[in-house]
Structure 1
């Protein structure tokens, strides 16, 4: 159940961040309202995930996967540049999230 809640938190955090970009600094009403809704759902799911999982693992996965997904969304949806150096650092984030998860399972 913890993984499901964490996955939902990540999906809604991604949706909230995309809505933030689409809100154009709160000048567009619908994306602005959706941003608050999506972030509220994300934090609620994150909160419930903490009942099943360790806070360090939950937060690292939520933020790390969120960074990777929003970087890809920026590239694919908003045509933002994603230089090779950025992809390298995103890869390091992925390795870090995997490493944290492996080390958690080892204890």
Structure 2
């Protein structure tokens, strides 16, 4: 397309208006901080320990929430194991970092179909 001339404003030189379908960036793209899994797990452990200390100060009603967190963690582990199996990891691969046998891992997380 042919550029269009902008009318000049007082104290400003005339410029060119170019057709563009891209809007200028409103905010700069900031680099994302990469958080390694072991760093993230350490953070989660600190939060869980702090929650236990808060409950221990006398919030007996929050004990049920802590139990619900434990159940959620069990579900999360089962989902992680299922995902690892779907990625092709063997029961031996999964059991090794846990320090258990492949049979123990399969009995705990394998279900009937695995």
TM-score tier by shorter-chain length is: 0.3 to 0.5
TM-score (norm 2): 0.34
Q: Highest Rg: 1 or 2? A: 2
Q: Which has the higher contact order (CA 8 A, sep 6+)?
A: 1
- Structure showing the higher helix proportion among its residues: 1
TM-score normalised by structure 1 residue count:
0.35
